[in-house]
Chain A
Amino acid sequence: MTRPNLSHWQTSPVVSHYAMAVLSVAVAIIAAEIMTRLLNAEPIASSMLCAVIFAAWFGGFSPALLAIALALLAFHYYLLPPINSFAWKHNLLAGGVSEVPRLILFSITSLFVAFMVSAQREATEALRRSSGDLQAAVEDQKRIEAALLRSEMHLTEAQRLSRTGSFGWNVSSGEIFWSDETFRIFQLDRAAKPTVQLIVQRTHPEDRAAVQQTIDQASIDGKDFDHEYRLMMPDGSVKHVHAVARAVRDALGGVEFRGAVTDVTFAKETEWKLRRSEAYLAESERLSRTGSWAWDVRRREFVFRSPEAHRLLGLDPERDAAPAQPLWDCVHREDRDRVIEMVRQALREKTDFEGDYRIVLPDRSTRYVHAVGHPVLSNDGEVTELVGTHVDVTEQYLAKVALQEAVDEIKKSEDRLRLVIDTIPTLVWRAGPEGIPDFLNQPALDYTGISLDEAATAWPGAFHPDDKTGMLRQWSAIRDSGIRGELEARLRRFDGEYRWFLFQAEPLRDQSGNIVKWYGSSTDIEDRKRAEEQLRRSEAKLTEAQRVSQTGSFGWNVSSGERFGSKEFFRILGYENPRSVTSDMVLQRVHPEDRAFVEQTIDRASRDGKDAQYEHRLLMPDGSVKHVNVVAHAVRDQAGQLEFIGAMVDVTSTRRAEEKLHNTQAELAHVARVTALGELTASIAHEVNQPLAAVVANADACLRWLDRETPDLAAARRSAEWVIDDASRASEVVRRVRALANKADIEKVPLDLNNVVREVIALVRRELGSHRVSLRMELEPTLPRILGDRVQLQQVIINLVINGIEAMQPVTDRPRELVVRSGQDETDRVLLSVTDCGVGISAENANRLFNAFFTTKSSGLGMGLSICRSIVEAHGGRLSVSSNEGPGATFQFVLPLHREDAL
């Protein structure tokens, strides 16, 4: 193609030159024709000449000749008769002899002009060409220079890219030349003057000695050197460089080294990485027991075997070479033909091969190998190499064998399972997705008495008629939900008895998640059902019992604050179905007068963690008052937290009845006391009055005897005697009354006063409770005994306690608290005090307090404290009263010690 193209470009100018000549002549003819027609001139000769000049100038001499020839033809056409005809003009010479000179002249002129013009053209052309040559020469020069520059740049660039710098070293002059890259490698400024010293200084300290030695050696021997060393950069990084130098002797015989220094840090690192990656590969091969190999088909030998491939064959990769043949020998005799055939087929069909076979190691042990091979094809499609891997799959093989054994075992255990399913005492069944059982275990068949064949249709009939509808609905709901579910229903036994069963069903899904089967079990829960029923009944009974007995139960976890209350509990408090109970809900209902007492009691109980029992009133929203008795039992839960379980009993009616009874009793007692006292006084008065009346009467009579005209002295004397007599009798009566009062002799025995107090408190606890008085006992534990009458001392203490309770009756703004203390005073006498916080005692009353018949109470007789004092004084003690610093008063008495104790 190139060739024709080239020939075209060589031909073209020549043809064009001739064409030009023809064209010039044609133009000249046309021009002449036009001028002849328009101007009637005959410029044909001059125009032809112009055409020849034109042809000569542009085409050269040969085209000019052609133009001349054509011009002559044109002349022949125009000037020879017949003019303007192309017919052959026989008489060339006939008619136009006149024209011949003109033609000759024209010819000569044309030739000359053509020659001149073409010569001129040649000269011009030659000049132009030589100028072109000069231009080309200059351009060549430029191109060479550019190429040099480029080559230098390339060199520099190459040096930079290859990290290779060049250097020169004139040993004798010590002059060192460095390329840019060398400076860059050494990270030195271009302005610096490279010296040996500088090089050594830049060298890694560990390599300095070696470098110095190499340079010294080179300077002495003048021989080539080649060494690698490390550079220590100012920023602490390390570079590996490889320096090569060749010695050149100059004309003077001096040695000059020219060389290159290459930064091989990257290569070093790559090498190191490669080494490491090879190590990894080897390691991974070792770990995966995979050996790789390459087999040269033509040479029929292994060209590569990884260390693991050696090891696989029981060979030492270091010591043993890789023999070409032993693999076949290694392969187990039974597998050998198969392996050979496999490889051959791969070679034949140029396909990968893969297969398992056994190899026998030198120690006669057998390994299982999985081999994979891949043919490598040459350009001409021939298999040149096989590359592949060997994997030691002995473990996997053994595992597979074990798995197979396990599967066999499972198969066996499945049979056993079947046995189990048919023997366990639970009804086991399986149903299709639509819920119809397709399998029942033996117990299920036995229980229901239906056969497996009829199970699909007969199973709903086995359920209790009352449960069937509900069961079917629930079963349908479970199936719709697609998750495990359960239901309870009664199932008929073969003998017709129905028992409660718990049916549990679990879906089995295929891989796409569709339920393929339902597996279920049915457990006999008849006993549980019965227990549940019993429990339900018992709970109902409890609720009923609570309602009837008006007893509400509650619980309170002190630490967590969690509370609960039974229905009755809330009913007593007057709440309609509250969800929970709070402390406020309870306190809100407590009667305002009892609130302080209740809070105090609850606080104490929760603080001490002890059982509590107390009574208080509730003020209901409708203004009615309820009495409740609260018993709280303190228990500790597993976490050791304090919890109260208790009962609240509505004792309003009881309390009302009791109060009524108590009031009646109190009234009765009071009436009885008043009556008794009245009778006593009347009796005493009568007894005393009688003799006194006699005395008066006798005395009057005596006077009258004396007042007579004749005083009857004997009668008067007798009267006076009787006066004395009767007065003595009156005195005797008084004496007898006193004797009567003293008649009850006190029986003094050694006593522990604390015990007496406790007995008394037991007697008055009801009084304390009904008056919402909290009692605090501060009894000295080691109290010496006293000598006294238990009953009388009890009377005294009861009196003081009751007095205290009554004194606190008007108190509503603070807790009613009564404190009973025992102890010893400064003279070691036993002391007992009863402190109330009631109305207290005014100073004026304090003096009269112990007088008989003195009372501040509307219903009192005024005998109590008087009697108390008598009793205490009869025991050799003293009863006193004092006002408290706060509200209330303190009564206290002291008793002497029992002598034996005192001693």
Chain B
Amino acid sequence: MTERAKSSHEPGDAEPIVIVVDDDASMRRALTNLFQSVGLAVEVFGSASEMLQAKLPDVASCLVLDIRLPGLSGLDFQTELAKANIHIPIIFMTGHGDVPMTVRAMKGGAVDFLTKPLRDQDMLDAVMTAIERDRKRREADRVVANLQAHFEALTPREREILALVSTGLLNKQIAAELGLAEITVKIHRGHVMRKMGAKSLADLLKKAEMLGINRSKR
């Protein structure tokens, strides 16, 4: 309780959460118990559709998924999530696994593939790995999102100039390109630097790259 409270009080993100989808109630209860015993927050669902309908907190999380599920099977659910661009790390559980199933799961980006009954350490290690991976991913996502927000604040002319700058053109060239005076280009460029929070040209170029801005993309 204390740990959980403490972690939830950690700065930055809220404490991570483990989402369990298993059709067996006792298994859900046992996993909840296990994760709570190491201070992890747990959300449990009986089926994939239940989980999709639920409102999940935007925190680092991982999905512990039983392969055998009523309705949509675990593997199929993985595919569906990937299609929906939801990049939550998945740990699969199965009563009896086989190689093709494992291969498919791992190709689909699964973190681990565990057989029941589970060794608790394996599960916890897999969960920790998954949460860490999710946290990093979320971090990266957030940076990009900031830049994107800054980029959104740019005027169209400024976006044009940023794109041309990112291709490595000189101010003079950009002016020629856009039919503007060089001085105008310089002013716009200054605005861009400021709005994008770039400390140097190199920094600006890096951010542009992170945003995926280049000439071709334009």
A residues whose Cβ falls under 8 Å from a Cβ of B = 682, 685-686, 689-698, 700-702, 704-705, 708, 712, 715, 718-719, 722, 725-726, 729
Is residue B34 within 8 Å, beta carbon to beta carbon, of the partner chain?
Answer: yes
Query: In the bound complex, what is the Cα–Cα distance between A322 and B12 (angstroms)?
Result: 192
What A residues does B31 contact at CB under 8 A?
Answer: 697
What A residues does B36 contact at CB under 8 A?
Answer: 701, 715
A685 close to B30 (CB less than 8 A) = no
Indicate whether A689 sits within 8 Å of B117 (C-beta atoms), given known contacts A697-B33, A698-B33, A700-B34. Answer: yes
Nearest CB in chain B: distance from A16 CB, A: 185
Is residue B95 within 8 Å, beta carbon to beta carbon, of the partner chain?
Answer: yes
Indicate whether A691 sits within 8 Å of B26 (C-beta atoms), given known contacts A686-B68, A704-B38. Answer: yes
Which B residues, 18 to 53, have Cβ-Cβ distances below 8 Å to chain A?
24, 26-27, 29-31, 33-34, 36-38
Indicate whether A696 sits within 8 Å of B37 (C-beta atoms), given known contacts A690-B27, A691-B26. Answer: no
B27 close to A722 (CB less than 8 A) = no
Nearest CB in chain A: distance from B127 CB, A: 13
Name the residue among A694, A695, A702 with the largest chain B CB count within 10 angstroms: A694
Is residue B176 within 8 Å, beta carbon to beta carbon, of the partner chain?
Answer: no
A701 close to B37 (CB less than 8 A) = yes
Select A689's contact among B30, B33, B34, B116, beta carbons within 8 Å: B116
Query: In the bound complex, what is the Cα–Cα distance between A705 and B3 (angstroms)?
Result: 13
B26 close to A696 (CB less than 8 A) = no
Query: In the bound complex, what is the Cα–Cα distance between A690 and B37 (angstroms)?
Result: 20
Query: In the bound complex, what is the Cα–Cα distance between A700 and B37 (angstroms)?
Result: 9
Query: In the bound complex, what is the Cα–Cα distance between A705 and B33 (angstroms)?
Result: 9
B30 close to A722 (CB less than 8 A) = yes
What B residues does A715 contact at CB under 8 A?
Answer: 33, 36-37
Query: In the bound complex, what is the Cα–Cα distance between A691 and B27 (angstroms)?
Result: 7
Indicate whether A701 sits within 8 Å of B96 (C-beta atoms), given known contacts A692-B117, A693-B117. Answer: no
Chain B positions 98 through 135: 1 when the CB is less than 8 Å from some CB of chain A, otherwise 0: 00000000000000000011101001000000000000
Name the residue among A682, A698, A715, A725 with the largest chain B CB count within 10 angstroms: A698
Given contacts A695-B117, A715-B33, 8 further A-B contacts (CB under 8 A): A692-B116, A694-B30, A696-B120, A697-B34, A697-B123, A702-B33, A704-B38, A718-B33
What A residues does B26 contact at CB under 8 A?
Answer: 690-691, 694, 722, 725-726, 729
- 6 A–B contacts, CB within 8 A, in A order: A686-B95, A697-B31, A697-B118, A715-B37, A722-B29, A725-B26
Query: In the bound complex, what is the Cα–Cα distance between A689 and B67 (angstroms)?
Result: 14
Nearest CB in chain B: distance from A723 CB, A: 8
What A residues does B96 contact at CB under 8 A?
Answer: 682, 685-686, 689
B residues whose Cβ falls under 8 Å from a Cβ of A = 24, 26-27, 29-31, 33-34, 36-38, 68, 93, 95-96, 116-118, 120, 123
A705 close to B95 (CB less than 8 A) = no
Query: In the bound complex, what is the Cα–Cα distance between A592 and B11 (angstroms)?
Result: 92
Query: In the bound complex, what is the Cα–Cα distance between A471 and B37 (angstroms)?
Result: 122
What A residues does B95 contact at CB under 8 A?
Answer: 682, 685-686, 689-690, 693
What A residues does B116 contact at CB under 8 A?
Answer: 689-690, 692-693, 696
What B residues does A694 contact at CB under 8 A?
Answer: 24, 26-27, 29-30
| The 7 A-B residue pairs with the shortest CB-CB distance in the complex, in nearest-first order | A700-B120, A693-B116, A697-B30, A696-B117, A704-B37, A694-B30, A701-B33
Select A693's contact among B30, B33, B37, beta carbons within 8 Å: B30
B117 close to A697 (CB less than 8 A) = yes
Closest to B38 in A: A704
Query: In the bound complex, what is the Cα–Cα distance between A682 and B38 (angstroms)?
Result: 32
Closest to B26 in A: A694
What B residues does A693 contact at CB under 8 A?
Answer: 27, 30, 93, 95, 116-118
What A residues does B120 contact at CB under 8 A?
Answer: 696-697, 700-701, 704
Interface of A is mostly: helix
Name the residue among B30, B96, B118 with the largest chain A CB count within 10 angstroms: B30
Select B24's contact among A690, A702, A719, beta carbons within 8 Å: A690
Query: In the bound complex, what is the Cα–Cα distance between A719 and B37 (angstroms)?
Result: 10
What A residues does B37 contact at CB under 8 A?
Answer: 700-702, 704-705, 708, 712, 715, 719
What A residues does B123 contact at CB under 8 A?
Answer: 697
Query: In the bound complex, what is the Cα–Cα distance between A702 and B33 (angstroms)?
Result: 8
What B residues does A722 contact at CB under 8 A?
Answer: 26, 29-30, 33
Nearest CB in chain B: distance from A436 CB, A: 105
Nearest CB in chain A: distance from B93 CB, A: 8
Nearest CB in chain A: distance from B53 CB, A: 24
Nearest CB in chain A: distance from B39 CB, A: 9
Query: In the bound complex, what is the Cα–Cα distance between A694 and B33 (angstroms)?
Result: 10
Nearest CB in chain B: distance from A689 CB, A: 4
Nearest CB in chain B: distance from A101 CB, A: 216
Nearest CB in chain A: distance from B94 CB, A: 9
Nearest CB in chain B: distance from A704 CB, A: 4
Nearest CB in chain B: distance from A709 CB, A: 11
Nearest CB in chain B: distance from A249 CB, A: 175
B118 close to A696 (CB less than 8 A) = yes
What B residues does A691 contact at CB under 8 A?
Answer: 24, 26
Nearest CB in chain A: distance from B140 CB, A: 32
Closest to A730 in B: B26
A719 close to B117 (CB less than 8 A) = no
What A residues does B34 contact at CB under 8 A?
Answer: 697-698, 700-701, 704
B27 close to A697 (CB less than 8 A) = yes
Closest to B116 in A: A693
Nearest CB in chain B: distance from A702 CB, A: 8
What B residues does A704 contact at CB under 8 A?
Answer: 34, 37-38, 120
Nearest CB in chain A: distance from B5 CB, A: 14
Query: In the bound complex, what is the Cα–Cα distance between A828 and B156 (angstroms)?
Result: 107
Closest to A690 in B: B24
Nearest CB in chain A: distance from B164 CB, A: 59
Query: In the bound complex, what is the Cα–Cα distance between A685 and B30 (angstroms)?
Result: 19
What B residues does A719 contact at CB under 8 A?
Answer: 33, 37
Indicate whether A726 sits within 8 Å of B30 (C-beta atoms), given known contacts A685-B96, A689-B116, A693-B118. Answer: yes
A698 close to B68 (CB less than 8 A) = no
Query: In the bound complex, what is the Cα–Cα distance between A617 and B50 (angstroms)?
Result: 66
What A residues does B118 contact at CB under 8 A?
Answer: 693, 696-697
Closest to B28 in A: A694
Query: In the bound complex, what is the Cα–Cα distance between A694 and B95 (angstroms)?
Result: 12
Query: In the bound complex, what is the Cα–Cα distance between A694 and B68 (angstroms)?
Result: 15
Closest to A704 in B: B37
What B residues does A729 contact at CB under 8 A?
Answer: 26
Query: In the bound complex, what is the Cα–Cα distance between A530 and B107 (angstroms)?
Result: 87
What B residues does A702 contact at CB under 8 A?
Answer: 33, 37
What B residues does A708 contact at CB under 8 A?
Answer: 37
What A residues does B27 contact at CB under 8 A?
Answer: 690, 693-694, 697
Query: In the bound complex, what is the Cα–Cα distance between A729 and B118 (angstroms)?
Result: 18
Query: In the bound complex, what is the Cα–Cα distance between A693 and B95 (angstroms)?
Result: 9
Name the residue among B24, B26, B29, B36 with the largest chain A CB count within 10 angstroms: B26
Nearest CB in chain B: distance from A697 CB, A: 4
What B residues does A712 contact at CB under 8 A?
Answer: 37
Nearest CB in chain A: distance from B126 CB, A: 14
Name the residue among B34, B36, B37 with the largest chain A CB count within 10 angstroms: B37
Indicate whether A701 sits within 8 Å of B30 (C-beta atoms), given known contacts A690-B95, A715-B37. Answer: yes
What A residues does B33 contact at CB under 8 A?
Answer: 697-698, 701-702, 715, 718-719, 722
Query: In the bound complex, what is the Cα–Cα distance between A697 and B26 (angstroms)?
Result: 10
What A residues does B68 contact at CB under 8 A?
Answer: 686
Query: In the bound complex, what is the Cα–Cα distance between A712 and B33 (angstroms)?
Result: 12
Indicate whether A698 sits within 8 Å of B30 (C-beta atoms), given known contacts A704-B37, A704-B120. Answer: yes
Name the residue among A700, A702, A725, A729 with the largest chain B CB count within 10 angstroms: A700
What B residues does A682 contact at CB under 8 A?
Answer: 95-96
Nearest CB in chain B: distance from A699 CB, A: 9
What B residues does A700 contact at CB under 8 A?
Answer: 34, 37, 120
Name the residue among B26, B33, B96, B118 with the largest chain A CB count within 10 angstroms: B33
Query: In the bound complex, what is the Cα–Cα distance between A718 and B36 (angstroms)?
Result: 12
What B residues does A695 contact at CB under 8 A?
Answer: 30, 117
Closest to A712 in B: B37
Query: In the bound complex, what is the Cα–Cα distance between A457 and B17 (angstroms)?
Result: 131
